Chains A and B, each alone.
Chain A
Amino acid sequence: MTQSKAIWFKVLLWAYAAFSMSPLVVMLISSLRPTAEIFDKPLGLPSRPSLANYSKAWTEASFSTYVVNSVVVVVAAVLLGAAVSLLAAYPLGRYVFRGRSLFTAYFIGGMTLPAHLGVLPLFYLLQSMGLVDSRLGLVLVYAAGSIPFNVFVLTAFFHQLSDELDEAASLDGAGMFSTFWHIMMPLVRPAIATIVVFQFVPIWNDFFYPLVLMRDESKLTLPVGLTHFFGEFQNDWGTLFAGLVMTTIPLVVLFVLATRQIVAGLTAGMNR
């Protein structure tokens, strides 16, 4: 690589990076400006930065409710999905027994299914269980939906662990669950981090299921709440920008904390 070429690559990359970030930066800056000021001068720094837009979105537009609902639903769904997937992936990834490949194919097959298309029957199923308009219903749907990807990643991790671990454990008289819990679990921790981070993003962002399955305003998660909010505050751009920033921040924080896990998760399946 010649020196000048490398410099051109660098210029190109930083230029695009700046372009890539600028809409988000405009969003952040605008959220600190009063609406009148935005209308007057769409691009500009806040004359007096203030969090007034945020407190308005938080209280008047029930963002506090949406955020709490989202956090509760997403955390519960990710944990439940991870727990059942870990249990299943352990024997599927490590042992030979009848039905193993069938079970694995059954779970992983779901990765390519557009599960959203089952939404009408899902609606009536939840209705018959009394779970329409319930956060628990949403949790179960998300947790179930996370199983294919989780099992896919986790079986590969369990598979890599050495057979000697089992031999040592059975010499100590450990049962299956005890082997799983005390020996395997600590070793697959990086994989757990991957699936947790990786499921958090799409579930936090999901819009379709709550749009169809939730009506009660007090139980809405952020994305559908955002659509109501956008209609209601149409002309109050400052508040709109604040709302958009609030929906985004948890993910950015997560990303900065876990870039490596995200990259690992993305590439986990590539060499199979």
Chain B
Amino acid sequence: MALSGTRRRAAYLFVVPAFILYSVFVVYPLFTGLTYSMFEWKGTLRSTFIGLSNYSHLFTEAFRNELLAALGHNFLLLAGTILVQNTLGLAFAVALFAVRRGKRALQTMFALPYLVNPLVIGYLWTLLLSPTFGPVNSLLRSAGLESLAMPWLGDPKSALLTVILINTWQWVGFPMLLFSAALGGIPPEFNEAARTDGASSWKVFWHITLPLLRPAMATVTILSFIGSMNAFALIYALGGSNGAPAGSTDVLGLLFYRTAFASGDVNAIGTSSALAVFMFAFIFGSTLVLQRVLRSRS
């Protein structure tokens, strides 16, 4: 409906409070970060304009190694999310679709872990997986699986895999819910028509259901990407701000936090602002590309 006169002016007044709040506390800081990144800093004092030097510092040898390792861990987390968590989530959603009674109870139980604070999840698993008093190892020992009773989070070789599994355990209910909703939106006639033509249930799933789930898959993939790249609290709780053990669980979020607040670098603000802008451009840009690619196919 088109507005005129006083009503149009009123419309702007309605928008103003949100506009101010959002501009001051979300948009302005993001843009100021960009200017921060182009100055040299002495503690909290802005010193000289140095253009892109802070960015090139990100790729000097010492920093680059840390940056690439962290980025690599983010990608492994993403791979685990897509391959393990989202596939499981889809399988559960399909199975759940065939179940008539107890649906709501099942949904609730699958979804509960993702409501729990990631920090709580991290600390909880730290206790459960403790090599000395943790119940997981004592359970494995009593089941005769002595060789599996190990310091899951203490060994650099297994730590990241353990993080991925814990993350999957926490989040699998989320793709399950989204896929369930999408399955519910598929008209049953499609399925029935194929069945009367004699298609097996596997064929129906592969040729009819799966293609119709593409929009939901696109959404889930994009959310997985954003979630994996922004991982912080769970990993902080499991491995502290250094990504223990031996940096094997370090991710971009931790690296940014350390650079900004715990590096002891005089130019900490400059370096970490450059890192923030780099991460921002990378995550935002990749999300746009992903969205383009995934949506155009569906």
Contacts and interface: CB of A to CB of B under 8 A. Distances in A.
Interface of A: 1, 5-6, 9-10, 12-14, 16-17, 20-21, 23-24, 26-27, 38-39, 42-43, 80, 83-85, 87-88, 90-92, 94-99, 103, 106-107, 110, 112-122, 124-125, 140-141, 143-145, 147-148, 151, 163, 166, 175-177, 180, 201, 204-205, 207-208, 211-212, 222-223, 226-227, 230, 237, 240-241, 244, 247-248, 251-252, 254-256, 259, 262-263, 266-267, 269-271
A14 B201 CA distance: 22
Given A9-B99, A270-B181, A176 B28 contact: no
A120 B276 contact: yes
Contacts of B127: 237, 240-241
B29 A119 contact: yes
Given A26-B135, A147-B26, A244 B7 contact: no
Interface stretch (B58-66, B110-118, B154-162, B242-250): B110-118
Given A17-B109, A97-B11, A120-B273, A251 B116 contact: yes
A112 B287 contact: yes
Interface of B: 1-3, 6-8, 10-12, 14-15, 17-19, 21-22, 24-30, 32-33, 36, 44, 92, 95-96, 98-99, 102, 104-113, 115-120, 123-125, 127-128, 133-135, 138-139, 169, 172-174, 177-178, 181-182, 185, 201, 215-216, 219, 226, 229-230, 232-233, 236-237, 253, 256-257, 260-261, 269, 272-273, 276-277, 279-280, 283-284, 287-288
Contact of A247 (B120, B256, B287): B120
Contact of B1 (A166, A177, A208, A241): A166
A113 B128 contact: no
Given A42-B134, A207-B119, A163 B1 contact: yes
Nearest to B37: A120
A42 B2 contact: no
- B interface SS class: helix
A20 B119 contact: no
A9 B95 contact: yes
A251 B1 CA distance: 40
Contacts of A99: 12
Nearest to B24: A144
* Most chain A C-beta atoms within 10 Å of own C-beta, residue among B17, B102, B107, B113: B17
Contacts of B27: 110
Contacts of B219: 269-270
B9 to A, nearest CB: 9
B166 to A, nearest CB: 9
B125 to A, nearest CB: 7
A117 B279 contact: yes
A240 B133 CA distance: 14
23 contacts: A13-B99, A21-B109, A23-B124, A24-B113, A83-B17, A88-B14, A91-B3, A97-B12, A106-B19, A118-B30, A118-B33, A118-B276, A119-B29, A176-B14, A207-B236, A208-B233, A211-B257, A222-B117, A226-B120, A244-B123, A251-B115, A255-B115, A259-B111
Contacts of B288: 112
The 4 closest A-B pairs by CB, nearest first: A118-B29, A144-B25, A121-B32, A91-B11
A30 B151 CA distance: 21
A247 B117 contact: yes
Given A88-B17, A91-B11, A144 B116 contact: no
A234 B169 CA distance: 25
A95 B277 CA distance: 36
Contacts of A107: 18, 22
B58 to A, nearest CB: 14
B108 A259 contact: yes
Which residue among B8, B14, B118, B177 has the maximum number of chain A CB atoms within 10 Å of its CB?
A: B14
A212 B258 CA distance: 11
B15 A114 contact: no
Given A95-B1, A207-B233, A240-B123, A110 B128 contact: no
Contacts of B177: 263, 266-267
Contacts of A124: 44
